[in-house]
Structure 1
Amino acid sequence: MELKDDVYSIQGIPVQEIASQFGTPVYVYDADKIVSQINHLKEAFTGLPLKIKYAVKSLTNMSILKLMRQNGTEVDAVSIQEVQLAMLAGYSAEEILFTPNSVSFAEIQEAVEFGCVINIDNISILEQFGHTYGNSKSCCIRLNPHIMAGGNHKISTGHIDSKFGISVYQLRHILRVVKTYNMDISGLHVHTGSDILDPEVFLQGADIIFESAMEFQDLRFIDFGSGFKVKYKENDNTTDLIELGQRLGGAFKKFCAEYGRELEIWFEPGKYLVSEAGYFLVSANVIKTTPATVFVGVNSGMNHLIRPMMYDAYHEIFNVSNPRGTQRLYSVVGYICETDTFGWDRPMSEVREGDVLAIKNAGAYGISMASNYNSRFRPAEVLVHNGQAKLIRKRETMEDLLRNQVEVEL
């Protein structure tokens, strides 16, 4: 989103016009930014057999999935429903990595029947998979490297107390299971968390997975997960993907030479691809002044964007309607009947009732984590593509709230 001549716009379309046309609250995504992120990741790992597996849990809209597919990504899915959505968007099952956690074996069998690549992070499931399929179906194994990394502790997934992955200290047990059932292990996977700034974290994980990989003779790929840090504030530090590509890419080439053949290198970014492309537009309902704080109460809440309340996530907020107004401090709060804050003590241009505010970094885990709490409708979604703003999800109605309810006589 750029500000020119006191007008915020996306691909030349004034944001105020998007808000007027589709109403607020509304999620708006910039397709150009998504494509730019994909291309930057490809550039960082030029010369390597790279596969980008988009983590669809971050944003599952079908139009976004189709945009991803058109630009050469494959899919990382964590539920059988995400698998089905990806296939409906045109992906083949072979392009889908299925990485569930704590699901029933029946769900894994369903993904096997589709033809997905299965990623297993539990010894019990590994044993069931081996017993059921032997070496007739291959699978990947997700290892827990015991590396504490990332931002909020809720999104750190590679530490010793994490529910994700099989501990590297259990490698001997893994190998016994694999040998017992003569299993075909096609890949190894490691993912330590989100918002990882330091390339050293990826290199630490790489050292662990490379050492483990020497125990498996028929690997086709190594999956390094993701966790690339995106920009949340002006002048914010982000993961230097070019440096990471040079250092991790060099280590990967060296490993492949030692392993005896070239493997594919996989990543599964979600937030990195869509976060900065998304804006959540809301309208100011009330300006409420107290002895301590000036609140802007908007027509949305944590039912639509839960990240600030769940993860203490920072989302920059700015006034689209009054970009050159006098700077004042506001706490931006929602309309949910609970403490429900988007941002505390934020400097922004003077806000008037009716003004449109834009919340940045709303592409990832915004609408995908939205709910109907307080019986509120989930918002619409709009994709700006080739200079046109297109509705890609309708705003919900009362009919949507009632659709699956069953009235009984009492």
Structure 2
Amino acid sequence: MIHGLENKSVPVHREYLIKLAKKYGTPLYVYDSCKIRKQYLKMKNAFSGIKNLIINYACKANTNLNILKFLQKLGSGLDTVSIQEVELGLKAGFNPRKIIFTPNCVSIQEIKQAVEFGVRINLDNLSILEQFGEYNPDYAIGIRINPHIMAGGNSKISVGHIDSKFGISYYQIPHMKRILKNTGLKIEGFHMHTGSDISDIQAFLLGSQVLFQIAIDFPNLDYIDFGSGFRVPYTKNDVKTDLTSLSSSITEKFEDFCKNYGSQITLIFEPGKFIVSESGYFLVSVNVIKHTISTVFAGVDSGFNHFLRPMFYDAYHCIENISNPNGRFRFYTVVGYICESDTFGLNRKVKEIREGDILCIKNAGAYCFSMSSNYNSRYRPSEVMIFNGKDFLIRKRETMQDLLRNIVDIHI
């Protein structure tokens, strides 16, 4: 599909989204490649003052192979957290050395697979570190540090606090050093990630200070990896991470570190949501309007099996009725068709919704399809990518064959 990066821009307006909903059916994910490109370049340009900079897309946000291919052609590296994501990255054309594998609570067997693929690896616990050192001390690795910083827009996405399962505590550095000495294991970098949806840049600056203090004692490092967690706006006036202020402070602190360290090492960021979230639109059709004593429900042809974030993270996503732009505003609770309390939006002010209308849920590019399931034996939806002024189907809607593909019928 992707031939060059001219990336002709097409406005993703209401009429175009309605056209796509009619062409491909609903529920439907739509991704605007121009927005993905804009966000990637915004990130790269914000930190252009850093001499050796790498942007690794955190692909757990959205692993559609076409999005990976697109970012690979833009020059991005890849942040992966499972061996399957590593394999997807290789299929998308990423050089193994541009893929970083930062797993959590996986077995040494999965780590060994990553070695076979030749990708970079960040280890985040002492047990695996010791096993790896005994197994392959000559394969240089990075270490994920837990900086003990509470940051993130929700407790489920705050991963740098003292009780987090992620990373090696900086209080365990003496133990880590002993393992390195005993095994002869080579360290090429340090990594951290404190959480997601972080608007306070002090969380990043405090974390960077922790990494700099640790890294200064380790010669011959190749990189320091600050992870990501940048907040994107979910409403018109929503707060977001101030990249300008962050880049100014980080650039100065990083350059000071490199001077003290005695060499110009590489700085890595791993944005996922920042790059793809705003590119995504989730289109659903209204099945029913249901009145109760105090609530008007708009029931749609989807649920948390397709779009989990509002239910799992209490995340707010803007909902618009693109079929009735001239209707008067009314209040609706927008719910799904799953046999659970799957609420997309509670008591939302939306243009009058009628049965058959198409609703658009915004910021649907990250952690939406990638977290979908077949709960209630529902099919996962189609995905469409807008590229060079055209729309392309990049994932077919599932069928009953997909649900039954791996079932073994024992003929009871």
TM-score, length-scaled by structure 2: 0.96
Instruction: Indicate the residue corresponding to 1:332 in structure 2.
Output: 334
Tell me, in whole angstroms, the C-alpha distance in 1 between the residues paired with 2:45 and 2:59: 22
Counterpart of 1:168, as a letter, is Y
Residues 190-205 of structure 1: matches in 2 within 5 Å? 190-205=192-207
2:278 aligned counterpart, secondary structure: coil
Instruction: Indicate the residue corresponding to 2:120 in structure 1.
Output: 117
Instruction: Indicate the residue corresponding to 2:253 in structure 1.
Output: 251
2:246 aligned counterpart, secondary structure: helix
Tell me, in whole angstroms, the C-alpha distance in 1 between the residues paired with 2:25 and 2:410: 36
Tell me, in whole angstroms, the C-alpha distance in 1 between the residues paired with 2:121 and 2:11: 42
TM-score, length-scaled by structure 1: 0.97
1:350 pairs with 324, 349, 352, which one? 352
Tell me, in whole angstroms, the C-alpha distance in 2 between the residues paired with 1:133 and 1:311: 39
1:141 pairs with 134, 140, 143, which one? 143
Shift of 1:291: 1.2
Contact 2:227 2:269 in 1 (8 A): yes
Instruction: Indicate the residue corresponding to 2:162 in structure 1.
Output: 160
Contact 2:30 2:384 in 1 (8 A): yes
Instruction: Indicate the residue corresponding to 1:5 in structure 2.
Output: none
Tell me, in whole angstroms, the C-alpha distance in 2 between the residues paired with 1:187 and 1:111: 17
Residue 225 in 1 paired to residue 227 in 2?
Answer: yes
2:395 pairs with 393, 399, 407, which one? 393
1:317 pairs with 293, 316, 319, which one? 319
1:72 pairs with 49, 62, 75, which one? 75
Percentage of pairs with the same residue:
56
Deviations 1:339-397 (A, max 9, x none): 11000010010011100000011100111110000000000000011111110000000
Alignment gaps of 5+ in structure 2: 1-9
Instruction: Indicate the residue corresponding to 2:99 in structure 1.
Output: 96
Tell me, in whole angstroms, the C-alpha distance in 2 between the residues paired with 1:21 and 1:387: 16
Shift of 1:409: 2.4
Instruction: Indicate the residue corresponding to 1:179 in structure 2.
Output: 181
Contact 2:21 2:28 in 1 (8 A): yes
Instruction: Indicate the residue corresponding to 1:4 in structure 2.
Output: none
Contact 1:382 1:389 in 2 (8 A): yes
Deviations 1:256-288 (A, max 9, x none): 100000010001111111011101000000011
Shift of 1:11: 7.2
Contact 1:54 1:73 in 2 (8 A): yes
Residue 209 in 1 paired to residue 207 in 2?
Answer: no
Moved over 4 A (4+): none
Tell me, in whole angstroms, the C-alpha distance in 2 between the residues paired with 1:308 and 1:35: 26
Contact 2:27 2:301 in 1 (8 A): yes
Counterpart of 1:130, as a letter, is G
Tell me, in whole angstroms, the C-alpha distance in 2 between the residues paired with 1:234 and 1:263: 38
Residue 84 in 1 paired to residue 87 in 2?
Answer: yes
Shift of 1:324: 2.0
Contact 2:39 2:274 in 1 (8 A): yes
Residues 233-244 of structure 1: matches in 2 within 5 Å? 233-244=235-246
1:43 aligned counterpart, secondary structure: helix
Shift of 1:244: 0.8
Instruction: Indicate the residue corresponding to 1:306 in structure 2.
Output: 308
Contact 1:9 1:15 in 2 (8 A): no
Shift of 1:190: 0.8
Change (3 A) 1:47 1:119: same
Q: CA RMSD in A?
A: 1.1
Contact 1:188 1:223 in 2 (8 A): yes
Contact 1:11 1:384 in 2 (8 A): no
1:276 aligned counterpart, secondary structure: helix
Shift of 1:12: 9.2
1:14 aligned counterpart, secondary structure: helix
Counterpart of 1:345, as a letter, is N
Deviations 1:204-253 (A, max 9, x none): 00111000001211110000000000011111110011111111111000
Contact 1:66 1:90 in 2 (8 A): yes
1:346 aligned counterpart, secondary structure: strand
Contact 1:184 1:218 in 2 (8 A): no
Tell me, in whole angstroms, the C-alpha distance in 1 between the residues paired with 2:207 and 2:289: 49
Change (3 A) 1:122 1:398: same
2:263 pairs with 257, 261, 264, which one? 261
Alignment gaps of 5+ in structure 1: 1-7
Tell me, in whole angstroms, the C-alpha distance in 2 between the residues paired with 1:229 and 1:65: 21
Contact 2:316 2:345 in 1 (8 A): yes
Instruction: Indicate the residue corresponding to 2:277 in structure 1.
Output: 275
Counterpart of 2:106, as a letter, is V
Shift of 1:47: 2.7
Contact 2:373 2:380 in 1 (8 A): yes
Instruction: Indicate the residue corresponding to 1:373 in structure 2.
Output: 375
Deviations 1:36-77 (A, max 9, x none): 000000111013111111111110000000111111111011
Instruction: Indicate the residue corresponding to 2:5 in structure 1.
Output: none
Counterpart of 1:406, as a letter, is V
Instruction: Indicate the residue corresponding to 2:135 in structure 1.
Output: 132
Tell me, in whole angstroms, the C-alpha distance in 1 between the residues paired with 2:339 and 2:15: 35
Contact 2:14 2:322 in 1 (8 A): no
